[in-house]
Amino acid sequence: MCEPADQRNVEVKARIPGGAEGFASRLDIARKLSGSPEAELIVQRDVFFESPLGGRLKLRYLQPPARSQLVYYDRPDVAGPKLSRFNKIEVDEPEVLEKILRQSNGALGVLAKTRHLFLCGQTRIHLDEVQDLGHFMEFEVCLRPEQTPEQGQAIAEQLSQEFGIAEADLMTGSYFDALRKGA
């Protein structure tokens, strides 16, 4: 039996300076680029678990009717566009799975956020309000099987310019990493 291929995307994650005003201006840019007057609003709570072989493992609780998801991903902790390989599966009983993963792997903590999702071509634009951290944006350039990471990086770099992301605002790790460091 063949093992399914990892899904891939190129990601950029950055802090949004300027508080609510900076966030609102980025929402305007996302509306223009996506051609959509409103974002899809996603409220999520992620429980992170130990992942003894590397990468990150989280259980993403979503509000019904959306189904929760178990997500494993691995990406380098570097600033700017980076290749992320991931796998996810929808979960019907997230509370039971969380209990099993806490018992087997150990939990690291919880991160809550409200995500404003816009689609622009093959890119998911996330404008996130992260509890206890602030305002952030993330681009996920969903790579097609025939695309190279470099092609995805070019798209991410173009979007970074259009959103005015300063190099100093680029993040190297995840929101959860920043929360754990108290950043």
Q: What is the reported pLDDT for 3?
A: 74
- Yes or no: say if 113 and 175 are a contact pair by the CB < 8 Å rule: yes
Does 114 score more than 80 pLDDT?
yes
Give CA–CA dist 159/96, Å, rounded: 39
Q: What is the reported pLDDT for 1?
A: 63
* Residues in the chain, total: 183
* Cut 0.85: pTM above it: yes
Give CA–CA dist 111/152, Å, rounded: 27
CA neighbours within 13 Å on the CB side: how many for 114? 8
Q: What is the reported pLDDT for 5?
A: 74
> What is the number of other CB atoms lying within 10 angstroms of the CB of residue 92?
8
Model pLDDT for residues 153-165, shown as the tens digit of each residue: 999 999 999 999 9
